[in-house]
Amino acid sequence: MLVVDVLAVALSLAVAGLEPVGPGDWQALALLVLGLVVHVETARGIERRREVVADGQPYIELKSVWSFAGLLLLPLGLALALVVVTFAYWWLRVSQRPVPHRWTYSAATVLIASVAAWAVLELIPGGLLVKVSGPVGLLVLVAAGLTRWTVNHGLVVFMICLSAPGTPWWKRLGSPTDTLIGLGALALGAALAVVALTTPWLLPVLLIPVMGMHRGFLIQQFARAARTDPKTGLSNASAWRDQAERELARLRRRGGELGVIMVDIDAFKAINDRHGHLVGDAVLRAVADTLRSEVRPYDAVGRFGGEEFVVLLAEAGPEQVGTTAERLRRRISECQVEVAPTLGGGTVQGLTASIGTASFPQASRDLDGLMVSADTALYAAKHGGRNRVECAPPRPTQR
């Protein structure tokens, strides 16, 4: 993080004086700052709710509208200064739980991304209206927007992967909808810049789609939160069941096999009693991350309740289901959960899990039957000494 922060400062100072600043540029900067203030004050309530709902989830904000418009309208030095002002004002007025090193890192990534996008824009000389006057200019503008997004988002995802290893990087990218709205904000910033040069009195009208995008974000995040277990980030039982029903219906039409794996952490109550519920929550997250990392991206992992998890393996026969379950059991036994000093310190290790599996169509042809069969196998593993895998037998053949 420090390397990126220092690079952003050094790069900004090196390029800040490359373009001269005129009186009209200060007026344009003041206009953009005014728009930013109106935007922040209007959306502050929405963004604070999003900040709470988005805890532990990708958080795409829309202040890039103003910083990208500034990159197109202003000399590079003022455009970079606008990035700093944007982050500072957003931090002061929106964030309820500011984490300074994260905010400075986010600002640093935008500064670096803005310089990269400016380099792309310089492929066509002249002002903004000259740059976008033809199809080549449009391509350069699109390339600049994509460059800004890729550098900014790439650096953020890279740091998330470093700070929270264990989950494949592609699961850290955020949803396609988030990406589309983030790119839409940059496109709106480009439109805002053109309007500011041609008909500035229309600028207030562009605040309407900005607020609409804020509302769309909020609805999307509430919908995501309603389907996500807050402690582990996995699908909750209802969302997992919906996905399992859809996959089962598909296999009934086209043919194929799937497996259900139920996982129960052994002696979880003893962990809570010994270390406290906050450490127990950390154990749940560690097991959830292990399950998620050990299955394929299109397999469904959910928290069933308490210390129980459930996994749906698509297109998997009984042998593959059993092999996967055994691998999950082994990986859970290798988990080591570091306890924060404020919670007593130390390491929780020696975890074990009892696992039951059931296969479609061998054990049952409906989801309830598969769940009952896997649950029965799970209890057989518990009664058999724990820390083992039991597979539900095929149902009797009907005559």
Q: What SS3 state is found at 291?
A: helix
Cα dihedral 270, 274, 277, 280 in deg (nearest 10): -60
Q: Which residues pair with 348 in a beta bridge?
A: 337
Cβ(309)–Cβ(288) below 8 Å: yes
| Structure tokens, 362 | 């061998």
Which one is catalytic: 61, 247, 307, 390?
Answer: 307
Alpha carbon distance 342, 55 (integer Å): 21
Active-site residue, 47 included: no
Strands of the sheet with 258-265, listed across from one edge: 300-305, 308-314, 258-265, 353-360, 389-391
| Structure tokens, 198 | 């041609």
Q: In this structure, which amino acid lies at residue 288?
A: A
Alpha carbon distance 74, 335 (integer Å): 52
Q: How far is CA 66 from CA 61, 147, 178, 182, 373, in A?
A: 11, 17, 18, 13, 56
Alpha carbon distance 256, 359 (integer Å): 11
Alpha carbon distance 232, 167 (integer Å): 13
Alpha carbon distance 275, 344 (integer Å): 8
Alpha carbon distance 142, 123 (integer Å): 13
Name the residue with tokens 């790439």. 154
Name the residue with tokens 């309530």. 45
Q: Is the dihedral of CA 244, 249, 250, 251 positive or negative?
A: positive
CA 315 distance to own-chain centroid: 27
Q: How far is CA 238 from CA 158, 189, 234, 244, 313, in A?
A: 32, 39, 11, 10, 17
Q: What phi and psi values does residue 218 have, to the nearest 5 degrees? A: -65, -45
The residues annotated with a catalytic role in the active site are: 307
